[in-house]
A and B are shown apart, each in its own frame.
Chain A
Amino acid sequence: MELTLSLGIGVLVASGVWLALRPRTFQVIVGLALLSYGVNLFIFAMGRLVTGAAPIMPKGGFVNPERYADPVPQALVLTAIVISFATTALFMVVIMASRGLTGTDHVDGKERSS
């Protein structure tokens, strides 16, 4: 499971970085989205991978934390997902405005002259 997850994060981040460096705005936004998926999975993995364990602990008495999943990274990843989703949507609007104003989807607002 660890290997699958780390490979998944690696592939997402690698393709995200490559796409984010491309000259078309569509590629950049897809790249940023992939990057944020990779980062979100990474945050989730920082709580250690456990299966079949709940993150919510019962109230009162002694609780053995080994039998529960760490709730903090789950809370963090939830926040991160919301924020990255919102900022990506905002970026999308700016990209569309740029397309409308400049008439091209190049990130610099003009095609390379050569």
Chain B
Amino acid sequence: MTLPVHMLVMPILVPLLAGAIMLMYDERRRQLKLSIGLVSCVLQLGVAIALIDRAGGSAVEGRNIVTLYLLGDWPSPYGIVLVLDRLSAVMLLLTALVALPALLYAGAGWHRNGQHFSPLFQFLLMGVNGAFLTGDLFNLFVFFEVMLAASYGLLLHGTGRVRVGAGLHYIAVNLLAAMLFLLGVSLIYGTTGTLNMADLATRIPRLTDAQRPMVHAAAALLAGAFLIKAAMWPLCFWLPNAYGAASPPVAAVFSLLTKVGVYVVIRLGLLLFGAQAGASAGFGSNVLAAGGMATMVFGAIGVLQAQDLGRMTGNLVLVSSGTLLTVLGLALIYDDAPMLTAALYYMIASTLALAALFLLAEPIGRKEGGIAGLLAITAEAFGLDAEDDLDEERAEQNRPIPGATALLGLAFLACVLVVAGLPPLAGFLGKFGMLSGAIERVTVLPNLWGHWAFVVLLIVTGFCALVALSRWGIQSLWANTDEPPLPVLEILPILLLVGTVALLTIEAEPALRYLDRTADALTRNQVYIGGVMTAPPVGPDPS
């Protein structure tokens, strides 16, 4: 299938333009802004699906096609490039799949609770998409900062003492992470003379003995920055507070932000320090594996201890990142492509389920008149009640539907099954794949304590999640007789997310095949390097 060349830059341009257009309008035109945002999210979803096709070639061939977009039309390792390969395409699709329901949910009322929700949301998406597409380290920094600046605004959305307190810590931690990032990037440039990831990967095996420790130090600094974002223990203490304090639609998209950190660690780890890296092969893999397992333990304890669903889900985010980082660490040492495939599948399923849990937390826990009261207070605080016909509009949109508890309960059950890794949903397939990969490895080499520990931890953390979530579910869904008011606009996004997980389960075979090729390309970094280093510039248009 041939697509226009400029398709590749669309995931960045669409949210940028949508956000910019929204800024032209007054804060009172919320409905209009919401519509622009939804159109932008649907467009991004369409582009992401097209790009998935593009990165994989046709389903029959199943190739790895690395597509470049030369932003200034300078030749590849020198100019700024956007790179699309299978992993980027999968991450773009995941972003679009989470963003659309989150924005729909916000449309049920949360977007009214403060200023500039919709533009910030679009700028956040721009940063996330850009971070997935960029091919050089400095632009990765820039897109990270775009994403973070928008996330600061979104975390504070709705204000209140708890959010401002959590936001203060979140911003301070992320500013420090940005400094580490800059130090790492400049040290890499000063030592190797390049910032292009593929070019850097070709230079790493050929480093001199004097340069190698410098590059390792730079990689460790960079890893510090990314692991703060991915929330590896002991850099994760900010996460449960921040995610628990954020408003539900914001927390749902925030479940993507940790995956941006994980994505960068997967991308750079396997590209720079994979098996082909010569003397640097496997650098940092022990730290990733051990840190990932510590994160799983910390997250599991946090889940058991948490009282409300928001905080519980925040800790489940930790478990999810910990699992992925452990698998990456093990894959870096032993080249475990099958485990990596299952981990990527688990990442998609768990991110969708966690986003759904964040969204579920509010309607289930809502006491009588909860959100209406909240909305009234914030509307008063912002002096907004006079100008638009809020009440009428909201009554129209937020008509409660019958059988709310049953629907919410079923959606909650589906999320629990995915997060705990029980059959029949996608979480089980992912966990089963990781377990079977690890066990296959230890049947050949029985002394790998890392794999044994991972197998045990994966089962135990799933069990902890199951215990904690069942306890919460019994308390809130069974012991709670009054039906919570549930507008259609709130249940629809939750059902969308759960439906996507179900689709992922039904279509497990093509999905896993796609991810298998992805993991395969990741463990052979010449695929990516070859794609980036050989592209000639397009040149001026002859016409």
Contacts and interface: CB of A to CB of B under 8 A. Distances in A.
Contacts of A28: 172
Interface in B138-178: 138, 141-142, 145, 148-149, 152, 156, 159-161, 164-165, 167-169, 171-172, 175-176, 178
B168 A83 contact: no
B189 A46 contact: yes
Contacts of B161: 101-102, 109
Given A47-B190, A87-B149, A94-B152, A32 B172 contact: yes
B149 A25 contact: no
A39 B189 contact: no
A95 B165 CA distance: 9
A64 B160 CA distance: 59
A73 B183 CA distance: 12
Nearest to B171: A91
B172 A98 contact: no
A65 B145 CA distance: 32
A57 interface: no
Interface of chain B, helix or strand or loop or mixed? Answer: helix
Contacts of B169: 107
Interface residues of B, number: 30
A7 interface: no
A39 B179 contact: yes
Interface in A82-111: 83-84, 86-88, 90-91, 94-95, 97-98, 101-102, 107-109
A39 to B, nearest CB: 5
Contacts of A88: 175
A42 B148 CA distance: 23
A30 interface: no
B185 interface: yes
B34 to A, nearest CB: 25
Interface in B344-385: none
| Interface-centre pick from A42, A94, A101, A102 (highest chain B CB count, 10 A) | A94
Contacts of A32: 172, 175-176
A86 B149 CA distance: 9
A84 B187 CA distance: 18
A98 B189 contact: no
A76 B189 contact: yes
B145 A87 contact: yes
A94 B176 CA distance: 16
B465 to A, nearest CB: 29
Given A35-B176, A94-B171, A101-B164, A73 B186 contact: yes
A72 interface: yes
Contacts of A95: 168
B168 A98 contact: yes
A32 B169 CA distance: 13
Contacts of A40: 182
A93 to B, nearest CB: 9
A15 to B, nearest CB: 14
A35 B165 CA distance: 22
B152 A90 contact: yes
B145 A83 contact: yes
A97 B160 CA distance: 10
Contact of A42 (B167, B186, B195): B186
Contacts of A14: none
B156 to A, nearest CB: 7
A73 B189 contact: yes
A20 B189 contact: no
Interface in A51-93: 72-73, 76, 79-80, 83-84, 86-88, 90-91
A35 B186 contact: no
A90 B189 contact: no
Nearest to B149: A87
Interface in A18-46: 20, 25, 28, 32, 35-36, 39-40, 42-43, 45-46
Contacts of A109: 161, 164-165, 168
Contacts of B165: 98, 102, 108-109
B156 A46 contact: no
B168 A94 contact: yes
A36 to B, nearest CB: 6
A20 B145 CA distance: 20
A88 B145 CA distance: 12
Contacts of A80: 141, 182
A43 B164 CA distance: 32
A10 B382 CA distance: 46
A39 B183 contact: yes
A102 B161 CA distance: 7
A25 B159 CA distance: 19
A17 B264 CA distance: 26
Given A46-B189, A73-B189, A107-B169, A83 B178 contact: yes
B178 A87 contact: yes
Nearest to A44: B186
A27 to B, nearest CB: 11
B185 A36 contact: no
A102 B165 CA distance: 9
A108 B161 CA distance: 11
A76 B152 contact: no
Contacts of B168: 25, 91, 94-95, 98, 107, 109
25 contacts: A25-B168, A36-B179, A39-B179, A39-B182, A42-B186, A43-B186, A45-B190, A46-B187, A46-B190, A73-B189, A76-B189, A79-B138, A83-B142, A83-B145, A84-B175, A84-B178, A86-B149, A87-B145, A87-B149, A90-B149, A94-B152, A94-B171, A98-B168, A101-B160, A102-B161
Given A42-B182, A73-B189, 13 more contacts: A43-B185, A72-B189, A73-B186, A79-B138, A86-B149, A87-B152, A91-B168, A94-B152, A94-B168, A98-B165, A98-B168, A101-B160, A107-B172
What 7 A-B pairs are tightest by C-beta distance, nearest first?
A46-B190, A43-B186, A46-B186, A109-B165, A83-B145, A39-B179, A101-B161
